[in-house]
Structures are given as structure tokens and as C-alpha cells.
Structure 1
Amino acid sequence: MAAKVGLFPSSSLTTSPHAIAAAPTNAPRPRGARGLASPGRSAAAMDAFHVSSQAAEPLLRTTGAAAAAAAAATATSNPRLRVRTHAQGGEAPSSGGAGDGAAGKEFSWSSIILPFLFPALGGLLFGYDIGATSGACISLQSAELSGTTWFSLSSIQLGLVASGSLYGALGGSLLAYRVADFLGRRIELVTAAALYISGALVTGFAPDFVLLIIGRLLYGIGIGLTGYLVGSLEIDVVGGWRYMFGFGAPLAVIMAIGMWNLPPSPRWLLLRAVQGKASVEDNKKKAIQALRSLRGRFRSDRVLADEIDDTLLSIKAAYAEQESEGNIWKMFEGASLKALIIGGGLVLFQQITGQPSVLYYATSILQTAGFAAASDAAKVSILIGLFKLLMTGVAVFKVDDLGRRPLLIGGIGGIAVSLFLLAAYYKILNSFPFVAVGALLLYVGSYQVSFGPISWLMVSEIFPLRTRGRGISLAVLTNFGSNALVTFAFSPLQEFLGPANIFLLFGAISLLSLVFVILKVPETKGLTLEEIESKLLK
């Protein structure tokens, strides 16, 4: 039976482009090859995760955001995360090869947890900027709390503060494409952590506006829900914005130290050999040592060597396939063009319906809604963040039951209603603060069951195998570029048009995106990647 594309266990639901950036494949995995795969994954998931290390792992990660994508890349090197016991009687072990039965009774948990934990800190760092910026912009503009003489920022300057990390992310994604294979996944993550540290420190100690923006660019991408928590504690402190922006440095130090002590990626070592940049035999030995470190010591050398050999064959096939792809213009032909319109359209509308602005300026919106104290607004932002997490869980459990299109259509409808409610609040309902809070909750909930996770799930499914790497690259660039532009433009547009009109504009764009989904986006529920290409992209 053909395996179906789904969330558990065959695909991964994420609101971030970075995990997806490591997921595309450029060539199907050779039949019978075990490599570094999990036997529990479906064939579709095999296609999504067994990728050319050159084509997929380095694609479009920011030097800062590289952490999240490389976390997924590191994860593919260590998927067999199950406890195995002695075979009973004359029974063969349930998995693995000869010589791997009794030895697999126990293993080191650190060999399993640490390779996921330290790269995952990059994912934590990814979202931090949203929460930290929301509170820091309030503190930074306050004559009493900024602790500076340059607190009177124009709307353009405020837009640069909010979007600076996103422009850094956009530039870093182009840089990462060139340096990822040269540095390797581990050193790339260490470099990313160093940039986080530098950006956080420069921003936190910035004596003037120019250095603040330089720090934001270095910072690259933010760092997680922690931003809301820190914002609620430091927002009423003089110079509290410095603490909010600088808080990422300790997390980045932990990430850098942890990544430095992890082994190199076995797939990267094998890729270097395939590319002719290292000896095949030497790097196979290094890959076996790295794999033993990642899996624990309780695996026989022969079993590990077999897996490395199979993975080497897979990488050779994928590398050869990628070399035959031709130039980037292949993306604008036939099925690839149709997939690009669908995937690119989804991630574009994901941003230009106002999502970055609503989250980056959530604290400001809540202050105008009657939560006069900045700390009160930040606390409500925490509740919104928790609600966001809850609604993501709803999407996780329902997307394979309900399908992609129903969640997209229903969620985008909710987004449009919430934006029109925000416009109405600023226009005629400003004496009812619960309208603004309710609209924010509706926006967050609707986004988290539609554009947030489903866009990236669709992007991971919709591109033909041969051009998936490049297709997702373009989707990620579109995402970063539109995110940066919307975040930057929100403050000047709000000043020029007024908040009511800006939310009306976003609401109108949401209706346009709803029409796009209804007319252009197919349902991929229950289809294999091959069926999607043959049935939906013709």
C-alpha cells in the first residue's frame, strides 16, 4: 500500500520555515537502503527526510536561523530513538543487524537527548525576537524608561528596530547557502550561536540608534516565547529594553558550548567524501565514530558500518540527481511552476495578511485597548502566546482528519473577521477594550490552525521531487522578504493611514488570500508525494 502523507509519524508540523528547509528531497531513497532512517516512517516521510545534504540541509537558513534548520538536519542523523532489549530465547532482535542484539539492552540517554537539545535551542532563539521586540519597543520609546536621550524614534526608525533581525535573516539565508557545506552542520551552528551572542550584546549595550540596528542585524532572528516572559518582567524597568534584547546571549552561549562538544554530522562527512573534498575511507571511519557517539556505544561496528554504507549510496544518488537538475529556471516550468505558485502564494499571504505586525506590536495594541501599564499588556501577551501554542496543538491533531483546505479556508476566514474587528475597534468601538483582546485571540487562533502550520506543511508536500530543494528555497526567501517588509512598513503605514485603515487593508488582503486558496490550493490529504505530483500538478 502506498504510504500516505501525514503528521504522525510521517511529517512534521511547524510554523517556522527552518525545519522545513531541511526536509525537502531531490531524489527518492534507493529501495532497501536503511541508512540513517527510521523504520517507522512512511515512504512519503522517507522522501521528505532522506535528502541530499548539499541540496537540503544548507538551503536558506539564516546564519542565525541556521540553528532551527540544522536542528532538523542533525535529527535525521539520529532517528532510531527506541530502547531495545535482549532477544528472548532464540528470537532475533526486532531491528538492527547481527551483533546488535544483546548489546542494545541499554544506551546512554545523553547520546540521544543532547544532539536534539542543543540544536533545538536555535529554534527557541528563532521566535524570541517577536516577544522581546513587542515589549522592547514600548520601553525604548518611553522618556522615563528608555534610559537614553534618543528615545523619540520616528515611525521609520521604529520599523527598522522591529524588522532589523528579519533583514539580517534574509541576508543570512543567502550567505548560509554558500558556507554551510564548507563549515559543516556543527560549526555552522556554533557560528550561528556566536552571531546570536554578538547581536544580543551589541543590542543590549547599544549607546546609539545605529549600533542598535547593527546589533539587530547581527542577531538575525529572534529566539522564542521566552521573549514574552522576559518582557513582562523587565518592561517597566529603566533601560528594560536592553535586558529584553540582551537576554538571548546566555541561551546562545549554552547552545555554542553544547554544539562545540557534539560530533560532526555523519551525513556531512559522507557528503564531503562524495564531493571529492575528503578521502572516502577516512570520512567513513569518522562517520562511524560520529554515529556511535550519536547513537550511544551499544551498537556493533558492523551494524554502524552497514548503515553508513547504505547512507553513502543514498547521498551519492541524491547528489547525482541534484547535479542533473539544471539551472534555477527549471523552477518556472510545468509542474514546478504550478507548485511554486501554490507554495509561494501561501507563504506570501501568510505574511502580508499582517501576522508579523500583529505579533510584533501586540503589546502596543493591547495598551491602546485599555491595558495602560506596559507590564499589564505584556502579561496579556503571554496569555496570547499560550493560546497560540494550544491552537497549534488543535491543528496537529486535526489536519489529517479534516484536511488542509478546510483548515486553511476556515482559518483565513477567522483571520479576516479578526482584522475587521480590530479596524472597527479603532474606528468606532474604542470604548470596548475586550473587542481588541478578543480580536487578537481570534487572529492568533485562526492563524495557528491555517497559515501558520498548514502553509509549511503544504510547501513540504507540493513541490516535485526533482525541484523540491530549490522550490522550498524560494518559498523561504519569499517568507523572510515579505515578513521583513510587512514588519518594517507597519509602523509608518499606521502613522500615515491610521490603525483602523491599516487593519482594513490587512483584512482586504485576507479576503484575497481566501479566494486564492479556494481557486488554487489543492487538497493533499491522504496522497503520497508521487500522487501529488502526478494528480495535482498536471
Structure 2
Amino acid sequence: MKNNVNFLAFVVALGGFLFGYDTAIISGTIGFVKTQFNLSTIMEGWYVSCALVGTILGVIIAGMVSDKYGRKNMLLVSSLFFALSAIGCTFSISFNTLVIYRLLGGIGVGVASMLSPLYISEIAPAKNRGRLVALYQLAITVGILCAYFMNAYLLALSTSDFMANTTGIVRKVYVTEIWRSMLGSETIPAILFLLLLLAIPKSPRWLASKGKLVKAKSIMQRFMSMEEADKNIKEVQTILSKDSAGIQSVLSGPFKLAMLIGISLAFLSQISGINAIIYYGPRILEEGGLKLGDALGGQVVIGVVNVLFTFVALWKIDDLGRKPLLTYGIIGIMVSLISVGILFFLDVKNPYLLMTFILLFIACFAFSFGPVLWVLLSEIYPLKIRGAAMSIATMTVWIGTTFVGQMTPWLLENLKPFGTFWFFACFMIPAIYLVIKVLPETKGKTLEEIENYWISKKN
């Protein structure tokens, strides 16, 4: 039973892998695309953030239809968007065409970013739900790392003797316009995601919300005891009978505080500056004294640290809980941002010292905001409209990411690197307050117990 639920979580977490891969693969293409299409600073930001606009659209679509048509069906749709985007970017004939296909890929990211952790939370037993949902974040970090390796590999391949005598489309994709092969490399994992999704069942809690209790119970019994499945089904029936989860309850009723917590943490996680490093890492590291080739290699190191410290969350999230990981992680993030800003302000040309503090930032994000946010967003909302409610909070993640993606070139140019990092650090102050003073601990509770907590708190 345990292996069954782990397999389901692994398959759905591949949506996180594609999310991370799509997010990071662009970092190696920015300079090449900017040069080929002669992009201004604003258009450079648009190239990065256009996919994020698509992501917001994807979240809206997923939120509108996943409660009606199911989590699995919408995940299948996301896999198709990933594949179409990768193929389309490879053969784009203009900058505008490239933007269109990046938008389509963004829609896939948006759908997967919301529904992958949501699906996992709805199949997971309460005792290890945090660990299983955190697999999604681990998959994101692995996707980011694989994208960094792929960028470095393709860059080296483009100048190798093997490619020296190539001609035609091969030379165009792998040498003269190498960004095409970088963006196109996402095709294989996208198709794998599609095929594996066909083998998983529909979410049992979604089925229960549609009155299909017998089928829901039979699916639950695949990965938990009969007694636990009975308990979960009875709790679901009780929750559904209360009629407490209309959309108005999320905006003004007993779940208003849960909504505010989710939205606030979602935005603050992105305004920490994580995506400034993911998207613009090579540029930032170059300004700190590294050459482009070394800077891309430095991003591989960032990716490795990101993966390793996500394991800390997998290890401790169901033991320590959500609040301690967030508290210590956000404090570490703020210290790192301030320190990097000081190095740039004092013009300390020591790339290794700069990398040390950037890696500290990545490590702290990887065991806190990275995994814990998705765990919280997948578990704090009511069953009847969990998809719609989570889409609102997830959309805030992508609004914050879009803001950072679009504005980072402007911030680096006008506030300089030191001002940019201090700007991000300021937003960690309200994040620390929110986690310590407002956020409840949810470890070890079933989704229905968490829902009842909000109802009882309001009453």
C-alpha cells in the first residue's frame, strides 16, 4: 500500500519536474535570444515573463474546471501543453512565435503547479502527507538542476568538434541558434509525463465530492488501511453535509483567514528573489566576477544545493511541522539577501564569497518556502471548492513570479545589484511575522480535520 501511494505521488510530481525544467531552461537562452532578436531591456523581461503570463492563465483554467472535471484530466491537458510548447519553440520562425509557444508552455506550468500538489494531498494519508506533497517540490528542484545540466551540456556540444561540420537544421538548432535545442529538450519529459498519467486513478476525494463514495473508498484502500479509508470517507461525508464551502466562505466566511494566509505566503515566497536567481543567475554571477561559462557552471552548483536541501524538508516536515521549517528558512533567506547586497555595495570582487551567500539563500529556500508553501496550499482549503480556492493562491505565486521576472532587469539596472537584493530582503519581515503569529500548524491532521478547524475558529 505504501509503495502504491509513493508511485502515484512520484508520477504526479513529474508535473513539478516539468515546472522546474521549464522555469530554469530559459536561463541559458536569455543572452542568445536577446542578441538574435536585438531585444531591449523591457523586451528581455517580456521574453522571460511571457511564460509566466501563460502560467497565470493556466492556474485560472485549472481552478475553473478541475473541481468539475477532475484533477487527473486537467493534468493530462497540462502534459499536452508542455509537449506542444517544447516542439513549437524549437521551430519558431520569429520572436513573436517564440513568445506564443512560451505562453502555451506557461499554461502547462500553471495547471501542473496547482494540480500536482493538490492531487497528492488528496491521496496521501495524514501522517505522511507533508512528505509526499514535498516530493513535488523535490521534483521542481530536480527539474531545475537537470535544466542547468542540459544548458551546460548543449553549450559545450555547440562548440565541440562533433558539431563542427554539421549543416542545415541540425547546425541551426544545435550550434548557431542553440537556444532552440535548449527549449526543445523539454519534449521527452513532457511525453513521459503524459504516458504515466494514463496509469493513475482519479482523486478519491474529488470522486467523493461528486457523490461517487464507493469508487472513492476503493481507491483509498489501495494505499491505506480499510479502517483509515472508512474514517476518511465518513469525514468527507460530514464535511459535505455542512454546506460550509461555497466560494463566499473562502472570501468572507470561515475560510477567509486561510485564504489570506495562502495568498500572502504565496506572494512573499516569490518576492524573496528566488526567481531572480533562477532566471538571471548567470548575469548576477557575471557581475560578481564570474565569466559566462563559469556562471552557467555556478548555476549547476545552485541546482545541486537546491535539490539536497529539499531533502531536509522531506525528512522533517511531518516531524517538526510546517511552522518551524518556514521560520528558520525565512530568517536564513533574509540574512543571505542582506549579505549579498553588502558584497555588491562594497564592490567586493570575490565570486566565491558571493556564491557562498547565494548558496545559503538557496539552501534556506529549499527546505522552507519551496516545499512547505505547496504543502500548505494543498491542505488548508475546503473540499467542495479546493481546486478553485487553491487556484487563487497559486495564481498569486505566479503574479509574484511574473513581477520578479519582468522587473529584475530593471531593478538590476536602476537599483543596482545591492539595492535589488535589499529590496527582496525587506519583504521577508512580514513573512516572518505571518508564520510566527498567524499560521496554524497542520502536521498530522487529515484534510477534513483542517477544514473543521477553520469552521470552529470562525464559530
* Alignment correspondent of 2:295: 377
Q: Name the CA distance, whole Å, in 2 between partners of 1:269 and 1:395.
A: 27
* Alignment correspondent of 1:265: 202
Residues 268 and 527 (structure 1), Cα distance of their counterparts in 2 relative to 1, 3 Å cut: closer
1:517 is aligned to 2:454: no
* Alignment correspondent of 2:311: 393
Q: TM-score, normalised by structure 1?
A: 0.64
**Helix, strand or coil at the partner of 2:30:** helix
Q: CA deviation at 1:513?
A: 2.3
For residue 50 of structure 2, the aligned residue among 164, 179, 184 is 164
Q: Name the CA distance, whole Å, in 2 between partners of 1:465 and 1:264.
A: 18
1:363 is aligned to 2:249: no
* Alignment correspondent of 1:455: 373
Letter in 1 for 2:29: A
Q: Name the CA distance, whole Å, in 1 between partners of 2:274 and 2:62.
A: 26
Residues 523 and 178 (structure 1), Cα distance of their counterparts in 2 relative to 1, 3 Å cut: closer
The answer (yes or no) to whether the contact 1:339–1:537 under 8 Å persists in 2 is no
**Helix, strand or coil at the partner of 2:39:** coil
* Alignment correspondent of 2:177: 239
The answer (yes or no) to whether the contact 2:12–2:197 under 8 Å persists in 1 is yes
Q: CA deviation at 1:258?
A: 4.3
Q: CA deviation at 1:318?
A: 7.7
The answer (yes or no) to whether the contact 1:270–1:312 under 8 Å persists in 2 is no
Letter in 1 for 2:177: G
* Alignment correspondent of 2:29: 136
1:348 is aligned to 2:267: yes
Alignment of 1:117-156 (within 5 A): 119-142=12-35, 148=36, 150=37, 152-156=38-42
* Alignment correspondent of 2:167: none
Alignment of 1:493-532 (within 5 A): 493-524=411-442, 529-530=449-450, 532=453
Alignment of 1:390-469 (within 5 A): 390-463=308-381
1:215 is aligned to 2:215: no
Of 435-444 and 510-519, the range deviating more from structure 2: 510-519
Q: TM-score, normalised by structure 2?
A: 0.74
Residues 341 and 158 (structure 1), Cα distance of their counterparts in 2 relative to 1, 3 Å cut: same
Q: Name the CA distance, whole Å, in 1 between partners of 2:178 and 2:334.
A: 35
1:177 is aligned to 2:63: yes
- Count of aligned residue pairs for this structure pair: 402
Q: Deviations over 1:492-536 (max 9, x none)?
A: 232232222111111112223223333333445566735854786
For residue 256 of structure 1, the aligned residue among 176, 191, 194 is 194
Q: Deviations over 1:50-106 (max 9, x none)?
A: xxxxxxxxxxxxxxxxxxxxxxxxxxxxxx246xxxxxxxxxxxxxxxxxxxxxxxx
Residues 81 and 409 (structure 1), Cα distance of their counterparts in 2 relative to 1, 3 Å cut: closer
The answer (yes or no) to whether the contact 2:82–2:104 under 8 Å persists in 1 is yes
Q: Name the CA distance, whole Å, in 1 between partners of 2:240 and 2:374.
A: 27
Q: Deviations over 1:393-436 (max 9, x none)?
A: 22332345544333322221211121122222222133121232
Q: Name the CA distance, whole Å, in 1 between partners of 2:232 and 2:350.
A: 63
Larger radius of gyration: 1
Q: Deviations over 1:334-375 (max 9, x none)?
A: 542222222222112111121221222122222222220x33
Q: Name the CA distance, whole Å, in 2 between partners of 1:268 and 1:521.
A: 25
For residue 202 of structure 1, the aligned residue among 88, 92, 97 is 88
* Alignment correspondent of 2:163: none
Of 347-356 and 118-127, the range deviating more from structure 2: 118-127
Letter in 1 for 2:277: V
* Alignment correspondent of 2:396: 478
The answer (yes or no) to whether the contact 2:90–2:181 under 8 Å persists in 1 is yes
Residues 533 and 466 (structure 1), Cα distance of their counterparts in 2 relative to 1, 3 Å cut: farther
The answer (yes or no) to whether the contact 2:67–2:384 under 8 Å persists in 1 is no
**How big is the alpha-carbon RMSD for the aligned residues of Structure 1 and Structure 2?**
4.0
Q: CA deviation at 1:249?
A: 1.1
Residues 395 and 254 (structure 1), Cα distance of their counterparts in 2 relative to 1, 3 Å cut: closer
1:490 is aligned to 2:376: no
**Helix, strand or coil at the partner of 1:156:** helix
| Higher helix fraction (1 or 2) | 2
The answer (yes or no) to whether the contact 1:134–1:364 under 8 Å persists in 2 is no
Alignment of 1:50-199 (within 5 A): 80-81=1-2, 119-142=12-35, 148=36, 150=37, 152-180=38-66, 187-199=73-85
For residue 149 of structure 2, the aligned residue among 218, 229, 232 is 229
